[in-house]
């Protein structure tokens, strides 16, 4: 059933994004490249390589993604200029060449750009090293391989250096704005807050040797987003760029995951609850939204059976059992009745449905209303098989229906069916006709066997497009679609059909046309097939313009025109709404990072008055370097000043510090990045 009078909601063009140009050319093939999808509306420049990318000189490090085994020894963490584009209009030593070339390329194909900024702590310093690095950033006191990252403190004009020992994110933003423009003037529209922080110690052990704390990731995100949104008020920020379910739960069992206790509301994603609440609190403090998209990665853990072997669907196994599981897997994005076979359902949520998007939306509604959803990486496997094509088409339909941004990650294998799925939404007739801009109600009697999506398009007001997927592995199905609540006098006047199936990833028009009445369409769906029906009506719908707000605001609304500055200005006594976190809330620390002796301010909430509150500063190896005691503090919001320079003893060394607040019974922990 399709009903254009119900559930009218805008389809975000960013639902159809990609991390890669979708081509026919696997990464291990010498076949000439043909671009299979011409009009992707959003591209992302991300992944593990971007964590250690140095914008000043375009150096980067592979982390553990690239391995060489020699003499029984495994070498990783290769530093080089791998990220430098081979053919660009910039010189080798031009700052941000990698980013500028990416933005330029996106603009050339009228795509929005999502770029990644760094916040793990260190970036590569030597693009000509071409070597394996075995010394960590914190230990590299000579800056042979690593430069420290600071969010603030850099100059915002003049020629950037190409070999700085500290790389400044505020300087990078100023340079990108002056060179490429802002979000509304040809520059990057979106920014990712680094990549998969929970596993930095695994993907980039030389950059971040120890597991990332929940508070560290959240407050680094706050600091970096403050820089981004101060420099470009029109830019939108994505975070925390979490790699998967274990990060959603507790930031990969982070050392400070005990702080998540008050965020355990039964939805099994306590860390995301905490992250949203932290961003909301910080946004209220600075008077503007700091997180526009809750951004995750989704590589399904669902499995199917190949004989007696359980195989994850993201592999390229196309045996019947795995293919069936793959075609069902997108249901975990939304279906409150579907329980996939995976360790998530078996071990984490008590054999209940994942129902991921509604689960995330409920968290957003509770902890940071107005935040949108994004999956900046996802993958369903078998892009060269019909099962992968159907799963991809299903996922795109779901993302559009729920207004979710998404960028598929290419695994470097055959993309023929993945391309067919994208083209069904972006270019189904070879003349760049699109699925539509407004999702409407569409339901099926069997979500196991079929999926259905329907849309209107304001550019073609007498048209409804319907996509039907037959997920049945070996049986054709008869379909009958009724169009309810058409406008008075409207009826079906014509239908064009575009289909791909298990025989070919190329679109074809079936030899037998569907049967139609004034408001019904009947057809036979081949097994494992995807079909788009372009339904022309006898008269147009009234004009309807769906609204996608480029900048979401949240209550309270604060009007402010930020400017590019070396250090974002934060009020020393912010008025903020805190989420209860126990006897002592996690402190807001500002300015953070800080350059020089300070002071810094700590804002937090005490649930109970206390006679003595100790504020202690520890190194990351838990050596105490500062302590101050504050007496007779009342219940409620507190703002304290902490001295860091020589006036309080010896000068601090550059680096990351834990700030511990304790009433000698309870404690709260924050993090501070300090540079002299």
Using an 8 Å Cβ cutoff, are 354 and 332 in contact? yes
Residue 196 known to be catalytic: yes
Per DSSP bridges, beta strands 146-150 and 166-168 are parallel
Per DSSP bridges, beta strands 293-298 and 372-378 are parallel
Interhelix angle 169-179/214-231, rounded to 10 degrees, is: 30
Q: What share of the chain is helix, strand, coil (3-state, %, to 5)?
A: 20, 30, 50
Residue 646 DSSP label: G
CA distance 223 to 56: 20
Active-site annotation holder among 196, 301, 340, 377: 196
Using an 8 Å Cβ cutoff, are 569 and 126 in contact? no
Q: What is the signed CA dihedral for 329, 330, 335, 338, rounded to 10 degrees?
A: -10
Using an 8 Å Cβ cutoff, are 295 and 360 in contact? no
609 alpha-carbon distance from chain centroid:
40
Using an 8 Å Cβ cutoff, are 200 and 265 in contact? no
CA distance 232 to 395: 32
Burial of 610 (0-12, 13-18, 19+ CB in 10 A): buried
Using an 8 Å Cβ cutoff, are 296 and 364 in contact? no
Q: What SS3 state is found at 86?
A: coil
Residue in the block written with tokens 């099926």? 444
- CA triple 356-362-368, angle to 5 deg: 120
Q: What SS3 state is found at 91?
A: coil
CA end-to-end distance (rounded Å), the chain? 66
User: Is the four-CA dihedral 496, 502, 507, 510 of positive or negative sign?
Assistant: negative
393 alpha-carbon distance from chain centroid:
20
Strand order in the sheet with 146-150: 122-124, 146-150, 166-168
Indicate which residues carry an active-site annotation. Answer: 196
């Amino acid at each position: 059933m399709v009903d254009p009078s119900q559930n009218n909601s805008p389809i975000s063009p960013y639902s159809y994004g990609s991390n890669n140009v979708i081509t026919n050319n696997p990464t291990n093939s010498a076949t000439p490249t043909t671009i299979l999808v011409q009009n992707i509306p959003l591209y992302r420049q991300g992944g593990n390589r971007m964590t250690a990318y140095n914008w000043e000189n375009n150096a980067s490090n592979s982390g553990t993604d690239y391995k060489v085994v020699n003499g029984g020894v495994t070498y990783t963490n290769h530093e080089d200029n791998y990220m430098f584009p081979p053919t660009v209009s910039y010189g080798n030593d031009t700052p941000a060449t990698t980013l500028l070339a990416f933005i330029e390329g996106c603009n050339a194909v009228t795509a929005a750009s999502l770029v990644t900024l760094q916040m793990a702590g260190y970036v590569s310093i030597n693009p000509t090293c071409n070597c394996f690095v075995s010394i960590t950033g914190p230990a590299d006191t000579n800056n042979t391989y690593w430069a420290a990252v600071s969010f603030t403190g850099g100059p915002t004009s003049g020629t950037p250096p190409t070999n700085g020992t500290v790389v400044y994110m505020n300087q990078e933003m100023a340079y990108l704005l002056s060179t490429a423009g802002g979000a509304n003037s040809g520059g990057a529209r979106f920014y990712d807050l680094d990549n998969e922080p929970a596993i930095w110690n695994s993907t980039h052990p030389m950059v971040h040797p120890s597991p990332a704390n929940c508070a560290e990731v959240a407050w680094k995100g706050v600091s970096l987003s403050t820089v981004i949104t101060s420099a470009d008020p029109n830019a939108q920020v994505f975070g925390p760029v979490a790699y998967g379910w274990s990060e959603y739960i507790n930031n990969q069992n982070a050392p400070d995951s005990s702080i998540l206790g008050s965020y355990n509301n039964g939805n099994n994603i306590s860390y995301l609850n905490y992250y949203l609440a932290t961003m909301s609190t910080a946004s209220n403090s600075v008077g503007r939204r700091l997180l526009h998209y809750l951004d995750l990665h989704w590589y399904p853990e669902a499995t199917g059976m190949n004989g007696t072997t359980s195989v994850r669907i993201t592999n390229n196994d196309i045996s019947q059992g795995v293919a069936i599981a793959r075609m069902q897997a997108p249901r975990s994005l939304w279906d409150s009745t579907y329980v996939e076979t995976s360790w998530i359902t078996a071990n984490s949520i008590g054999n209940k449905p994942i129902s991921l998007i509604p689960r995330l939306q409920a968290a957003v509604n509770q902890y940071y209303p107005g935040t949108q959803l994004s999956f900046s990486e996802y993958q369903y496997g078998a892009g060269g098989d019909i099962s992968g094509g159907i799963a991809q088409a299903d996922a795109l339909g779901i993302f559009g229906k729920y207004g979710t941004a998404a960028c598929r990650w290419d695994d470097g294998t055959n993309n023929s069916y993945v391309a067919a799925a994208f083209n069904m939404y972006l270019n189904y007739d070879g003349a760049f006709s699109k699925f539509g801009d407004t999702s409407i109600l569409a339901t099926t009697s069997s979500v196991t066997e079929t999926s259905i999506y329907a849309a209107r398009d304001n550019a073609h007001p007498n048209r409804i497009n319907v996509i039907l997927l037959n997920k049945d592995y070996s049986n054709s199905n008869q379909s009958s679609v009724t169009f309810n609540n058409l406008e008075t006098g409207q009826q079906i006047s014509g239908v064009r059909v575009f289909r791909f199936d298990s025989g070919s990833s190329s679109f074809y028009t079936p030899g037998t046309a569907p049967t139609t009445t004034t408001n019904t369409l009947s057809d036979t769906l081949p097994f494992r097939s995807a079909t788009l029906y372009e339904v022309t009506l006898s008269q147009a719908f009234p004009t309807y313009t769906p609204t996608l707000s480029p900048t979401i605001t949240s209550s309270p609304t604060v009007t402010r025109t930020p400017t590019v500055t070396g250090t974002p200005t934060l009020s020393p006594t912010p008025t903020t709404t805190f989420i209860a976190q126990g006897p002592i809330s996690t402190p807001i620390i500002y300015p953070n990072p800080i350059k020089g002796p300070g002071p810094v301010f700590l804002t937090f909430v005490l649930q109970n008055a206390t006679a003595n509150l100790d504020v202690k500063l520890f190194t990351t190896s838990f050596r105490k370097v500062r302590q101050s005691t504050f007496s007779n503090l009342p219940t409620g919001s507190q703002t304290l000043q902490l001295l860091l320079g020589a006036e309080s003893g010896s000068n601090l060394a550059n680096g990351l510090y834990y700030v511990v607040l304790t009433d000698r019974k309870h404690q709260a922990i924050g993090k501070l990045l300090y540079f002299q």
